[in-house]
Amino acid sequence: MKITDPHDIAPEAPDCPDEAVTDPASPCYGKTAGRPRAADKEARQLALLHTAAQLFLEKGYSKVSLEMIAREAHVAVRTIYVKFGGKAGLLSAVISKGRARFFADMTSMETDPRPLEEILSDFSLRFLELVSLPSFVSLHRMVVAEATSTPELADTFYQAGPRQSREQLTRLFVRPEIRARLRPELPLELLAVHLTNCLLGDHMARLLFPEARQPTTEELRQQAAMGLDLFLRSVLR
Domain boundary, last residue among 43, 74, 90: 90
Same domain, 112 and 135: yes
Same domain, 145 and 187: yes
Residue 35: per-residue pLDDT: 57
Q: What is the pLDDT along the chain (237 residues), one digit of tens a residue?
A: 444 444 443 334 445 554 443 344 444 534 444 556 778 888 999 999 999 999 999 999 999 999 999 999 999 999 999 999 999 999 999 999 999 999 999 999 999 999 999 999 999 999 999 999 999 999 999 999 999 999 999 999 999 999 999 999 999 999 999 999 999 999 998 999 999 999 999 877 878 887 778 899 999 999 999 999 999 999 999
Question: Do residues 55 and 69 touch, judged by C-beta distance below 8 A?
Answer: yes
Same domain, 104 and 196: yes
What's the rounded Cα separation, in Å, for the pair 28 and 133?
33
Residue 208: per-residue pLDDT: 83
Residue 191: per-residue pLDDT: 97
Residue 6: per-residue pLDDT: 46
Q: How many domains does the chain have?
A: 2
Enter the pTM of the model.
Answer: 0.81
Residue 34: per-residue pLDDT: 53
Q: Which residues contact 171 (CB under 8 A, 6 or more apart)?
A: 108, 109, 110
Helices (H), the chain: 38-59, 66-73, 77-84, 87-103, 116-131, 134-146, 151-160, 162-173, 176-179, 188-200, 203-208, 217-235
CA gyration radius for the chain? 21
CATH code for the domain of 53: 1.10.10.60
**Nearest in space to 49 (alpha carbons), one of 92, 15, 18:** 92
Same domain, 100 and 117: yes
Residue 39: per-residue pLDDT: 80
Residue 1: per-residue pLDDT: 42
Q: Please state the φ and ψ torsions of residue 182, each to the nearest 5 degrees.
A: -100, 150
For residue 118, give Cα distances in angstroms to 95, 104, 109, 231. Answer: 26, 17, 11, 14
Question: Do residues 61 and 150 touch, judged by C-beta distance below 8 A?
Answer: yes
Residue 21 DSSP symbol: G
What's the rounded Cα separation, in Å, for the pair 9 and 25?
25
What's the rounded Cα separation, in Å, for the pair 87 and 153?
9
Residue 182 DSSP symbol: B
What's the rounded Cα separation, in Å, for the pair 75 and 78?
8
Domain range enclosing 49: 6-90
Residue 165: per-residue pLDDT: 96
Residue 1 lies in a domain: no
Same domain, 214 and 194: yes
Residue 18: per-residue pLDDT: 45
